[in-house]
Chains A and B, each alone.
Chain A
Amino acid sequence: MSETATPYIPNKRKPMRSAEDLRAQIPGWGADLDPADRPSYPREQPGIETGARWDFPERQPEKWPRERSVEHAFLPPVFGTSTPPAGVSGAIRRYAYKYGEGRAAHWLLLVGADRVDAWEHHLTSLLTLRPDNPVTETGVLSEFSRHGISSRAGQGRADVKHQWIDPLIVAGPWVLAAGGLAAVALRILRKRREA
């Protein structure tokens, strides 16, 4: 056998295990060897039977002005009706849908709206009989019942190596933003006192 590694010569140096061995050792080895047996070959299969008896589906009633991508020609006939946009987060979301999907502004506004939505609900939950409970809602008690320490210690997990700094990274932008807002507010107050 040549000492020259495979990429520098025409064929793989190490022959594969024989098909007979593989068939004997691995259940079903080669059952889909023929691409024709693979359900997603070819990728597009015009005329595939789907069960649909319509060319265009009947339209579902639109119960509120449903937000939609500007890349759609019209509101698609069927859509989800969960959690209509509401509050400040809803206003941001409606605004985000003015931008196309190719624009970063569209997605970043939606991510921003998600954060606002969470804070809106955390705050309003305090006015209800069931305020948000960070202990039960994070499921953190499973750390005690599901071996939180032994699942991590000595396991060599990649995520454990940076776990100590994760809270700082997540909290950092919020702390900076809060600090920035406080600084702006203080400056405005000072200017008013001076005026």
Chain B
Amino acid sequence: MKAMVYRGPYKVRVEEKDIPKIEHPNDAIVRVSRGAICGSDLHLYHGMMPDTRVGFTFGHEFVGTVHEVGSSVQNVAVGDRVMVPFNVYCGSCYFCARGLYSNCHNVNPNATAVGGIYGYSHTCGGYDGGQAEFVRVPFADVGPSKIPDWMDEEDAVLLTDACPTGYFGAQLGDIAEGDTVVVFGAGPVGLFAAKSSWLMGAGRVIVVDHLEYRLEKARSFAHAETLNFTQYKDIVVQLKKETDYLGADVVIDAVGAEADGNFLQHVTASKLKLQGGSPIALNWAIDSVRKGGTVSVVGAYGPIFSAVKFGDAMNKGLTLRMNQCPVKRQWPRLFEHIRNGYLKPSDIVTHRIPLEHIAEGYHMFSAKLDNIIKPLVVAGQS
């Protein structure tokens, strides 16, 4: 089969690999029809995530058709069209039994601090991902779901991470009616977080980024006010002015490890890899939220320490809430929102890239060329 493989920082290519095999009775093998490149894949691509091995296949957003099932699989069958959450999880450990699927303890030998994630380095379990023609899906009775007949395949692939993660980020904010919500990052997760903030009753939603074309999308897709942080001497002061010097009630960090806007942080994290991530957006969030407010973090950070302004968070009495999204928990309610016309996930898709051209896709997405917001990966067509 054809699969994307990592060759070192900023280098990927397509190689022929063996089709994955059933390794556990509850495995399935899925033939991928649509995948995606996620902003967090760029952390791997840039060499920021520890234990990212040459030869590894990325990709944690994918949908496809069940090709083979293990002997104990009951809930999906060969030929079913399935959507697969980015979380690999068992459904029965201490954490899964409480709905914390993203914190599963039975699927990641390499680390206890993070659960299993498809195609996201050995730090997240060493599972090859879905930027390939086939992928191994453990716990097929637990993770994947059949794609409803009424659902568009491109909406389904957005429901495997970006859309539920944004929706989850808004939930972590504990938004109350009339709250002012600031979202850092107008990428896919930030756009969905902004859109979801309205569902939870926000009175104002402000999205902050430095890419004008993405801020335009935040205005048109998420009905948000926008601020370009490069146009202000100090974005935190500007946000204070915007909120009558109170600060926002809720701030969502939808940027994560490669935030820009502070040279020292950028250099030490993104370039020299001396931090687990560049916490610029997180520090801005801590400083621009009101005292007693809530900071929600759904931007991804690596496991190495980061220079976070924890003193401000403590002194302001903030609630910091964060996690990787337990995707499948979000699906029933998100399905309702899509059917009611509140949300059309595939509206943010800008590019469809054949798997064979994935190196160009990574470069475009990394360098933010061609007004790219969300690139999908199309397997088996070129």
B356 to chain A, nearest CB (A): 11
CB-contact partner of A71 in B52, B100, B112, under 8 A: B112
B20 to chain A, nearest CB (A): 8
Most interface-central of B109, B302, B330, B343 (chain A CB within 10 A)? B109
Assess whether B246 is in contact with A12, with CB atoms less than 8 Å apart: yes
Q: Is B201 close to A, CB under 8 A? A: yes
Interface segment, one of B3-11, B148-156, B185-193: B3-11
- B358 and chain A: residue at smallest CB distance: A139
Q: Is A195 close to B, CB under 8 A? A: no
Q: Is B277 close to A, CB under 8 A? A: no
Contact with A along B124-155 (1 / 0, CB 8 A): 01111000000000110110000000000000
A160 to chain B, nearest CB (A): 9
Interface residues on B, range: 35 or more
Q: Is B364 close to A, CB under 8 A? A: yes
Q: Cα distance A142–B360 when bound, in Å?
A: 6
Q: Is B33 close to A, CB under 8 A? A: no
How many A residues face the partner with a CB closer than 8 A?
Answer: 102
Assess whether B92 is in contact with A54, with CB atoms less than 8 Å apart: yes
Q: Cα distance A101–B114 when bound, in Å?
A: 11
Total A-B pairs in contact (CB under 8 Å)?
307
Q: Could you list which residues of chain B lie within 8 angstroms of chain A, going by C-beta atoms?
A: 7-13, 23-26, 47, 50-57, 72, 74-75, 88, 90-92, 96-101, 105-113, 116, 122-123, 125-128, 138-139, 141-142, 168, 171-172, 174, 177-178, 196, 198-201, 203-204, 210-212, 223, 228-231, 243-247, 260-261, 263, 266-267, 271-273, 276, 290, 302-305, 326, 329-330, 332-333, 337, 340-343, 358-364, 367-371
Having A26-B198, A121-B8, A156-B230, one finds 11 other A-B pairs with CB under 8 Å, namely: A28-B343, A30-B199, A31-B342, A51-B141, A69-B109, A79-B109, A101-B113, A104-B305, A137-B12, A156-B210, A166-B271
